[in-house]
Amino acid sequence: MARKLAPGSRLIIASHNKGKLREIEALVSPLGIEIVSAGALGLPEPDEDAPDFAGNARIKALAAATAGGLPALSDDSGFCVAALDGAPGVLSARWAGPTKDFTAAMSLVNERMADATDRRAWFVAALCLAWPDGHTETFLGRVDGTVVWPPRGERGFGYDPMFVPAGASTTFGEMDPDAKHAISHRARAFAQVLAACFG
């Protein structure tokens, strides 16, 4: 049985990514949980050297929970393209380089896809809730769709402007944040966290 986080608890959001912080804060805020970011606590970013999203999420959550002495929620997520054998995948942030230039990263995806006819793509999010004693709970969410080029929209972050989720006509970069939150990979993973670990 999953360990619960009661209303009124303090929770570290183990991310330095402002876009992810905004999305996670929006998901957590109605729960009566006091949140603080790893950056606000001055916690360093650990090396993410696991081969999968769940492993990297666990690394980040455990590092923040141990250093901060509070439960910590982390996210590791990425953009996966069928024509690139699932790349950039766990290396999604690294494709953007040290300056986090996702315009360049999207161009690189398009360049490597060349004239591929398979436009299938998906976002994956692994959320891990960790406690200072080393206990963890990990949950996965996924949303499928297609790659579009050129990118469309100024909303969202990362690869959002080049991804149209299945059943939609607009990219994540064009969607109202509430519409994206309703169907995103992160929201799907968070629904599992909510059901298992809150309340």
Q: Catalytic positions, please? A: 76
> Residue 106: which residues within 8 A CB-CB, separation 6 or more?
151, 159, 161, 162
> Residue 107: which residues within 8 A CB-CB, separation 6 or more?
none
The identity of residue 174, as a single letter, is: E
Q: How many Cβ atoms are within 10 Å of 122's Cβ, its own excluded? A: 19
Say if residues 133 and 67 touch (Cβ distance below 8 Å): no
Rounded to an integer, what distance in angstroms lies between the CA atom of residue 22 and that of residue 156?
10
Which residue, 81, 108, 72, is CA-closest to 197? 72
Six-digit token pair at 36?
């603080």
